[in-house]
C-alpha cells in the first residue's frame, strides 16, 4: 500500500514542478465561474426561480461544480494513451504493481493537490466576490464529501476505460475528446440535469455521468434533500461498482494482445 501512497506524493511533486500550469488553471477556472455567474444572472433576470432553483442556488451550483471538477478531473486517459503510443507502457509492465491502480493513484495525487491548493482557496475567493450560499448543516458537508469521492472514482473509471481502449485502437484522440465533451455536458457541469427535457432526464438516469458533477453540486446547494440524497449516493455507489466490470474485462484482453509499439 505504501507504494501507492508514495505515488500520490510523487504526483504532488510533479504538480509543483509545473507551476505555470497551476497558475493558468486558477485563471481559467475563475474566468469560467465568472462567465457562468453573469450568464445565469442574465437568464434569471427578474425571475425568482427556474425549475425550482433560485438564482443564488444556481450561482452556488456553478461555483461548486467547477471547484469539484478541479478535484475529480484528471488526464489519465490521455496519459495512458500516450504511454501506449510511445511504448512506455512496457516499463510499467516490469514494475511490481497494478498499472491501473497506479494510474488511479496518480489521478488522486493530482486531485488532492488541486483540492488543497486550488479548490479550497479558490472557493474562498469566489465566495468573497460573488454571493454564494454555503450550507450550514454539517451533515450536508458530510454527504458532499462522500459524494465527491464517488465523483472522482467514477470519473477516473471512465478515464481508465477510455485509456484502455487505446490498446485496441492505437490512436483514440477523437474518443478522448468526445468523452470529455460528453462528461461536461451530461454530468451537469454546464447545465443542471433538472433543466433537461423529461425524456433526456430519463435517459440520463441510466447513464453514470450525472454521478460525476450533478449529484455533489446539488447536495452542496441543498437542491437535493432527504431521501433524494440517499438515493443519489446509492446511484453513485452502484455505478462505481458496475464500472469495475468492463474495466477488468478490457484490461485482461488488453494485456493478452499488448503490442509494445516502437522497438
Partner 1 sequence: MENIIQVDTLRKEFKSYSSRSGLKGAFRDLFTRNYKVIPAVKDISFTIKKGEMVGYIGENGAGKSTSIKMLTGILTPTSGSVVVNGMNPHKEREKFVRSIGVVFGQRSQLWWDIAVQESFRLLKKVYHVPDHVYESHMNHVIESLDIGPLLDKPVRKLSLGQRMRCELAAALLHNPSLLFLDEPTIGLDVLVKLKIRNFLKEINQKYQTTVLLTTHDLTDIEALCERVIMLDEGQIIYDGRLSKLKSSWGEGKQIEFQFADPKIEKLNLAVLTNDLQTEWTSGNKKNVWVANVVNDEELISEVIARVVAAHKITDIKIHEITTEEIIRNIYEEGVIQ
Residue from 41, 49, 95, 182 in contact with partner 1 (CB under 8 A): 95
Contacts of 216 by beta carbon, 8 Å cutoff, 6+ apart: 64, 68, 144, 147, 148, 150, 151
- A 10 A CB-CB count for 232 gives 21
Residue 54's φ and ψ, nearest 5 degrees, are: -80, 165
Specify the stretch interacting with partner 1 by CB under 8 A; choose among 47-55, 93-101, 172-180, 195-203.
93-101
**Residue 255 interacting with partner 1 (CB under 8 A):** yes
Sorted by sequence, the CB contacts under 8 Å of residue 183 that are 6+ apart come out as 155, 158, 189, 209, 212, 213
Cβ proximity to partner 1, 96 vs 226, nearer residue: 96
20 touching partner 1, by CB under 8 A: no
The rounded Cα 109 to chain-centroid distance in angstroms is: 14
Toward partner 1, which CB reaches closer, 11 or 69? 11
Residue pair 85/171 in contact by the 8 Å Cβ criterion: yes
Q: Residue with C-alpha cell 462567465?
A: 35
User: How far apart are CB 255 and partner 1 at their closest, in Å?
Assistant: 8
Rounded to the nearest whole angstrom, what is the least distance from the CB of residue 89 to partner 1 in the complex? 8
H or E element in which residue 11 lies: helix 2-17
By CB under 8 A, name the one of 131, 185, 260, 261 that touches partner 1. 260
Task: Choose among 115, 118, 121: nearest CA to 145.
Answer: 115
Q: How many residues touch partner 1 (CB under 8 A)?
A: 26
Among 98, 129, 173, 234, binds partner 1 (CB under 8 A): 98
3 vs 177, which CB is nearer to partner 1? 3
Please report whether residue 45 would count as binding partner 1 according to CB under 8 A: no
The binder of partner 1 chosen from 38, 93, 169, 249 (CB under 8 A): 93
Q: Which residues contact 5 (CB under 8 A, 6 or more apart)?
A: 105
Four-residue CA torsion sign, 18, 20, 21, 26: positive
Residues 52-91 that bind partner 1 (CB under 8 A): 86-88, 90-91
Q: Give the contact letters, 199-238, x = binds to partner 1 (CB under 8 A), - = no.
A: ----------------------------------------
CA–CA dist 200, 50 (Å, integer): 18
Instruction: State the DSSP H helix or E strand holding residue 49, giving kind and residue range, or none if neither.
Output: strand 49-50
Does residue number 101 form part of the binding site for partner 1 (CB under 8 A)? no
Q: How many CA atoms lie within 13 A of 19 on its CB side?
A: 0
Query: In the complex with partner 1, which residue's Cβ is closer, 44 or 117?
Result: 117
Contact between 94 and partner 1 by CB under 8 A: the answer reads yes
Q: Which residues of this chain interact with partner 1, rule CB under 8 A?
A: 2-3, 6-7, 10, 13-14, 17-18, 86-88, 90-91, 93-98, 255-256, 258-260, 263
Amino acid at each position: 500500500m505504501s507504494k501507492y501512497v508514495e505515488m500520490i506524493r510523487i504526483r504532488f511533486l510533479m504538480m509543483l514542478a509545473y507551476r505555470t500550469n497551476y497558475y493558468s488553471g486558477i485563471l481559467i477556472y475563475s474566468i469560467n465561474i465568472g462567465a457562468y455567474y453573469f450568464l445565469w444572472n442574465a437568464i434569471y433576470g427578474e425571475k425568482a426561480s427556474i425549475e425550482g432553483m433560485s438564482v443564488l442556488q444556481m450561482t452556488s451550483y456553478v461555483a461548486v461544480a467547477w471547484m469539484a471538477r478541479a478535484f475529480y478531473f484528471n488526464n489519465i486517459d490521455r496519459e495512458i494513451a500516450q504511454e501506449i503510443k510511445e511504448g512506455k507502457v512496457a516499463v510499467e509492465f516490469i514494475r511490481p504493481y497494478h498499472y491501473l491502480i497506479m494510474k488511479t493513484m496518480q489521478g488522486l495525487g493530482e486531485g488532492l493537490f488541486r483540492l488543497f491548493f486550488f479548490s479550497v482557496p479558490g472557493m474562498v475567493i469566489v465566495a468573497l466576490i460573488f454571493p454564494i450560499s454555503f450550507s450550514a448543516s454539517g451533515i450536508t458537508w458530510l454527504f458532499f464529501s462522500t459524494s465527491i469521492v464517488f465523483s472522482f472514482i467514477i470519473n477516473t473509471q471512465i478515464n481508465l476505460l477510455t485509456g484502455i481502449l487505446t490498446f485496441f485502437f492505437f490512436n483514440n484522440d477523437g474518443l478522448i475528446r468526445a468523452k470529455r465533451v460528453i462528461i461536461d455536458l451530461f454530468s451537469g457541469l454546464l447545465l443542471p440535469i433538472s433543466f433537461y427535457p423529461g425524456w433526456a432526464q430519463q435517459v440520463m438516469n441510466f447513464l453514470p455521468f450525472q454521478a460525476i458533477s450533478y449529484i455533489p453540486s446539488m447536495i452542496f446547494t441543498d437542491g437535493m434533500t432527504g431521501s433524494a440524497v440517499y438515493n443519489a449516493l446509492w446511484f453513485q455507489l452502484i455505478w462505481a461498482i458496475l464500472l469495475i466490470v468492463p474495466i477488468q474485462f478490457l484490461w485482461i484482453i488488453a494485456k493478452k494482445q499488448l503490442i509494445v509499439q516502437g522497438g
